[in-house]
Amino acid sequence: KQEVTQIPAALSVPEGENLVLNCSFTDSAIYNLQWFRQDPGKGLTSLLLIQSSQREQTSGRLNASLDKSSGRSTLYIAASQPGDSATYLCAARDNNAGNMLTFGGGTRLMVKP
Amino acid sequence: KAGVTQTPRYLIKTRGQQVTLSCSPISGHRSVSWYQQTPGQGLQFLFEYFSETQRNKGNFPGRFSGRQFSNSRSEMNVSTLELGDSALYLCASSLGQDSNQPQHFGDGTRLSIL
């Protein structure tokens, strides 16, 4: 059974800092891995999706990497801004599991002005 | 292009009642999945529907059920509500079975059980 873990659970950084969020998964037979952002009281906003055959994906100040062999993914946020404050979730979609996603517990990020 | 729409946004029920939540996926998306989010358990998969058929089911009791209509809209039903069913219920839509495209979520229905 897939298990996804995110460390740390919470992170506070000053504005402008570059930061890395970590995600680990136990079963490397994944179809893809997706990073989401969740603002308080809201649903999930898709940030990046990395297919199992890819090593990384980039969108603006965000870069996500995937290392299936070690069961790890990272989300790199460059030049953080107060508007980046949110909870960040990673989710693994396993092979032969339809569209079911297994989520980590999330990292709650606060960027201080 | 409209996103995933969930109704209602908020719902208050009492123990023993039943509730129906609705989800309209992005136009053209045929797969709809449901998740329960609580502070203690995080996001947990309930079930997935594709072309009106349940394709996958999570580890929830039979009180939780769902269905999908021919226009891909989906409903989930929870019967005999318990206090522990208080949660944010999220719906996600995607293109289809083998799509490597992102899944998109609605803003959820917050269910409170008194």
Question: What mean pLDDT do residues A92-105 have?
Answer: 91
pLDDT for residue A86:
98
At A22-75, the pLDDT tens digits run 999 999 999 999 999 999 989 999 999 999 999 999 999 999 999 999 999 999
Are A60 and A84 contacting, i.e. CB atoms less than 8 angstroms apart? no
Closest CA to A95 of B45, B98, B35: B98
Please indicate whether, in this complex, the C-beta atoms of B101 and A98 are within 8 angstroms of each other: no
pLDDT for residue B97:
67
DSSP codes, B16-41: T--EEEEEEPPTT--EEEEEEEETTT
- B-chain CB neighbours of A91 within 8 Å are 43
Closest chain B CA to residue A87? B42
Structure letter (DSSP) for residue B95: S
pLDDT for residue A8:
92
Judged against a pLDDT cut of 90, whether residue A99 lies above it is answered with: no
Task: Determine the distance in angstroms separating the CA of B19 from the nearest CA of chain A, rounded to an integer.
Answer: 20
* Residue B85, Ramachandran bin (φ over 0: left; ψ between -120 and 50: alpha; else beta): alpha
At B89-98, the pLDDT tens digits run 999 999 876 6
Task: Determine the distance in angstroms separating the CA of A15 from the nearest CA of chain B, rounded to an integer.
Answer: 28
What pairs with residue B67 in β-bridges? B75
At B2-40, the pLDDT tens digits run 799 999 999 999 999 999 999 999 999 999 999 999 998
- A-chain CB neighbours of B100 within 8 Å are 31-32, 49, 51
- A-chain CB neighbours of B106 within 8 Å are 43
pLDDT mean across residues, chain A? 95
